[in-house]
Amino acid sequence: MILRLLMAGTVGLCLAVPVCHAGEVVEVGIADYKFTPSELKVRPGTTVTWINKEKRTSHSVLFLDPGAIESDRLFPGERHSRTFDKPGRYPYRCGPHEEMRGMIEVAE
């Protein structure tokens, strides 16, 4: 599983469940009713961007922590970003499709 990283206009590669560095932007694809990668380990200060790569279906990103934040509906080609500054585990799912689940782990 390869994950694209965008940093200062260049593209780098991380493998499955990578540890990415602060200031990087990491993409999570949404396709076939799955988040890819579904688990991601990042450093504080990393921005994660979810991109809906479906052809016709809308999705959202709903965090399950207290005070849960849900993105707007993401229609095909649309994106949602969140920067993670505090260490911890951030489980999330798709608002309309509860079976779609993911986890962001922020570690020093």
* Residue closest to 38 by CA, chosen among 52, 59, 17: 17
pLDDT tens for each residue of 4-63: 333 333 333 344 445 555 578 899 999 999 999 999 999 999 999 999 999 999 999 999
* Structure confidence at residue 3 (pLDDT): 36
CA dist., res. 94 & res. 22, Å (int): 25
Flag whether the pTM goes above 0.75: yes
* Structure confidence at residue 1 (pLDDT): 32
CA dist., res. 88 & res. 108, Å (int): 10
* Structure confidence at residue 15 (pLDDT): 41
pLDDT tens for each residue of 65-107: 888 889 999 999 999 999 999 999 999 999 999 999 999 999 9
In this structure, which CATH number among 2.30.42.10, 3.30.70.20, 2.60.40.420, 1.20.1530.20 belongs to the domain 3-106? 2.60.40.420
* Structure confidence at residue 21 (pLDDT): 56
Through-space distance between the first and last CA atoms of the chain, rounded to whole angstroms: 23
